[in-house]
Amino acid sequence: MKNLKIFSIVSLFIFMISASSSAIELPDSISGYKIPKPTTEIVNFDIDSISLTDITLLFDVEISNPYPVKLKLSRVESTFFVEKKQFFKTSTDKLKIKANGKETTRLFVNLKYADMAGVVKDYSNKDYLECVVDMIVVLPLPKQVAGIAKDITFKFNLKKNVPAIKPEINIANFNVIKPSKEDVEAAIKKAQKKNMNADAITDMFGAMIDGKSPAKVIDTSDLDLKMKVNFDVVMKNKTKAEIFFNGLNYDFKVNSSKLVDGYTKDIRNKPGEYILSINNDFSSKALGSAILKAFKDGKGDYSLTGFSMVKFPDKIKKTPLKLNYNEKGVLSIK
CA 296 to chain CA centroid, nearest Å: 36
105 is a domain residue: yes
State which of 130, 163, 196 marks the end of a domain: 163
Model confidence pLDDT, tens digit, residues 300-309: 999 999 999 9
Whole-number percent of the chain with pLDDT over 90: 68
Residue 192 shares a structural domain with residue 277: yes
Asked whether residue 152 falls in the same domain as residue 187, the answer is no
20 domain-assigned: no
Whether 184 and 157 map to the same domain: the answer is: no
Q: Are residues 136 and 197 in the same domain?
A: no
Instruction: Over range 84-93, report the average pLDDT.
Output: 90
Evaluate whether residue 1 is within a structural domain: no
CA distances from 31 to 10, 34, 35, 89, 263 (A): 10, 9, 10, 42, 68
Would residue 293 count as lying in a domain? yes
- What is the total count of domains within the chain? 2
CB 323 within 8 A of CB 312: no
3-state DSSP call for residue 193? coil
- Domain CATH for 310: 2.60.40
Same domain, residue pair 220 and 124: no
pLDDT band at 186 (very low <50, low <70, confident <90, very high): very high
Which residue among 113, 141, 163 closes a domain? 163
151 & 250 share domain? no
Say whether both 143 and 261 belong to one domain: no
Residues 174, 156: one domain? no
Q: Are residues 230 and 280 in the same domain?
A: yes
pLDDT band at 9 (very low <50, low <70, confident <90, very high): very low
- Which comes out higher in pLDDT, residue 15 or 58? 58
Cβ atoms 237, 165 nearer than 8 A: yes
* Pair 183, 153 in one domain: no
- Cα 209 to its chain centre, rounded Å, is 36
The least confident of 8-17, 128-137, 174-183, 242-251 is 8-17
Q: How many residues does the chain have?
A: 334
> Any idea what the CATH number is for the domain that residue 129 is in?
2.60.40.1820
Based on the fold, state whether residues 212 and 313 are members of the same structural domain.
Answer: yes
**Max intra-chain CA distance, the chain:** 103
181 part of a folded domain:
yes
Distance CA 178, CA 214 (A): 14
Q: Is the domain of 187 the same as that of 319?
A: yes
CA distance 286 to 7: 70
* pLDDT given at position 19: 36
pLDDT digits (tens, 9 = 90+) for 213-230: 998 889 999 999 999 999
Choose one of 141, 163, 185: the last residue of a domain.
163
Q: 217 by DSSP, 3-state: which?
A: coil
What is the full DSSP assignment across 247-306?
A: -EEEEEEETTEEEEEEEE--EEEETTEEEEEEEEEEEGGG--HHHHHHHHHTEEEEEEEE
- The model's pLDDT over 253-309, given as tens digits with 9 standing for 90+, comes to 999 999 999 999 999 998 889 999 999 999 999 999 999 999 999 999 999 999 999
Q: Quote the domain boundaries for residue 121.
A: 38-163
Burial of 175 (0-12, 13-18, 19+ CB in 10 A): exposed
d(CA 202, CA 196): 11
